[in-house]
Amino acid sequence: MIRASMFDWLRHPAQVIVLGFGAAVLLGSLLLALPAATTSGESAGWLTALFTATSAVCVTGLAVVDTESHWSAFGEVVIAGLIQVGGLGIMTLATLFTVLVSGRIGLRAKIFAQAETKTLSMTDVRSVVRKVVLFSLACEAIAAVILAGRFLIGYGESPGRAVYLGIFHAISSFNNAGFALWPDSLIRFVADPWICLTVAIAVIAGGLGFPVVFELLKSWRHPHRWSVLTRITVAVTVVLLVAGTLVFLATEWRNPRTLGALDDPAKFLAAFFTAVMPRTAGFNSLDVSQMYPSSWLATDLLMFIGGGSASTAGGIKVTTFGLLAFVIWAEMRGEPQVNVGHRRLPEPVQRQAISLTLVSVTLVALSTYVLLTLTPHGLDQVLFEVVSAFGTVGLSTGITAATGVTGQLLLVLLMFIGRTGPLTLGSALALKERTRRYQLPEERVIVG
């Protein structure tokens, strides 16, 4: 009876996803706590190992120690492996292994993979998982070749070191992780289009979302055939990238500690790169701590929105943001239904978008308040850190290591919730789903 009840508890896909990511974090923490994982040959300590493993599995990029100087080659390989696992998703990898080993997928495995990859039909799970893995590896391979070639030719790295750097940063960029093997992230490459554009394109590709990518590859010449998901994702992504670039150009143009020290082409490149990274990548080619508070606020908004649904990115997702915009537009026009193009949005989708946003805003607000009470840092820096952790971004104003034990544990929790999703985590904690078999009388309530 006890064993049966345990399996009953794990029937909900969301529960298995949360447990899967939790198991990956635990395993990663144990590996990073080994003396062999550090350059000093001593254990990193449980908090540093836990924080780094969570940041890697949740593809965030926040760090309390310098990645290159603190971690050994073994530790860096572990981090890269955790990033790959977190980016593809525990259930996606599990389903792939099932296909390779047995050649068939059970019903429960299909349900789990469907929940992780956001596929619309369980019959497509096997094909989708294969496409996800192949597309991910192909993008990472292309980025790795370009980066390795640039490190070899442009910066005089040895062939082995160039290949190592190329592979590590290709994995980190496509999976929107933001881990870099230099203390200043990518600031030293701020004017190098080969490095910055390769990383930025990999981040965008990984942050669009696999359903959108597959549809674009299939019918990119026929936008009128695109689904509502693809239309909203592409439109909002383009708007945010353009708007973000213009905002950073306008705000930081004369800042001598960021864009002000660069020539005009490098300014545009750096502004575009800075607009791409809040999609939850976490690399930076400018010193974030030297930006104006107005730029921090703009970055907060971009990080909170994040990337596409079913992608390696975090945040509430551009789809959610776009859906809310259509809901507001329909309400302002007094329309009884929400329409996107020639399609009507079902009410459950609208409620999910509103619920996800409100839960996320509440979580960010409460976490900001708690972290303010725990640290001496100002609101701008604390809010930036909280949104970065929740959005699984990894950008920081430089206070991550100074938040203390309790503060770092709070950031660990935020990263985990941000990766698994507030609603996914909530449903995983709910042991039973309740359905109401009756409706109560309707009563109007004054709003506003």
Average pLDDT, the chain: 86
In this structure, are strands 343-344 and 339-340 parallel, antiparallel, or unpaired?
antiparallel
Asked whether residue 4 carries a pLDDT value surpassing 50, the answer given is no
Instruction: Calculate the alpha carbon distances from 393 to 274, 304, 418 in Å.
Output: 12, 9, 10
- Of 104 and 64, more confident: 64
Q: Is the pLDDT of residue 2 over 50?
A: no
Percent of the chain, pLDDT > 90?
A: 61
How many Cβ atoms are within 10 Å of 178's Cβ, its own excluded? 30
User: Residue 303 and residue 212: Cα distance in Å, rounded?
Assistant: 20
What are 190-200's pLDDT values in tens digits? 999 999 999 99
Question: Cα(215)–Cα(220) distance, rounded to whole angstroms?
Answer: 7
CB–CB of 229/211 below 8 Å? yes
Please give the structure tokens belonging to residue 11. Answer: 């029937």
Contact in structure between 17 and 115 (CB atoms under 8 Å): yes
User: Which of 161-165, 210-214, 309-313 has the largest mean confidence?
Assistant: 161-165
pTM of the model: 0.88
Q: Give the residue extent of every domain in the chain.
A: 2-428
